[in-house]
Amino acid sequence: MTPATYLSPTSEQGRAFFTRGISGNVMMLNLLRFRATADYSATPALAPNSPISGEEAYRLYMEHTLPHLRASGGEVLFYGRGGDFLIGPTHERWDAAILVRQSSVASFMAFASDQGYLSGIGHRTAALEDSRLLPLVDVQGLRIVGGGRERVGNTRRGCGRDCAPGALDWALLGGSSTSPLDV
């Protein structure tokens, strides 16, 4: 039996997300498993002239997506390479993780249904073997102190320039020296 894969939400999952009553920022934790070779069979018009890896197809997806994400009030907070779990199933692996902040559920829904964004989503489908998307919300009033930074809810204090997310180095992922997130 082939294990289940998840590339898009079901209508029930979409309805549950929308009716959760989330106010304010929503963070989207994306876990990504890339195909060895991108599969453009569903969107041949987007296919490059020669075969590329799933990771390269995901880069094309991000290059296409970032302007739409930013226009909707969203931003990428983190992109990193995955690997084996420290705590978790040994048979499961995730090649990369992305944390994206949207200013609201409404702005996320507007982004996700934007025709300009959707015109390039075939790169994502071609790139991914499997994925997970977990919406996260701030826990207000939680006080975290450490490393010279204090954070209460989503407010930072004591931060210098080092609190801003650093440039993402796509070269570490085997790409060119230009990050797909810096377009």
Which residue has better confidence, 8 or 21?
Answer: 21
Average confidence (pLDDT) over 121-146:
87
The string of DSSP letters for the chain reads -PPP--SS--HHHHHHHHTT---S-EEEEEEEEE-SS---TT-GGG--SS---HHHHHHHHHHHHHHHHHHTT-EEEEEEEEEE-SSS-TT-EEEEEEEEEES-HHHHHHHHH-HHHHTTHHHHHHHEEEEEEEEE---TT-EEEETTEEEETTEEES--GGGSPPPP-GGGGTS-SS-GGG-
Model pLDDT for residues 76-115, shown as the tens digit of each residue: 999 999 988 899 999 889 999 999 999 999 999 899 999 9
pLDDT of res. 145: 66
Percent of the chain with pLDDT over 90: 58
Q: Is the pLDDT of residue 38 over 80?
A: yes
pLDDT at position 50, please?
A: 98
Domain architecture of the chain: domains with CATH: 11-137 (3.30.70.100), 141-173 (no CATH)
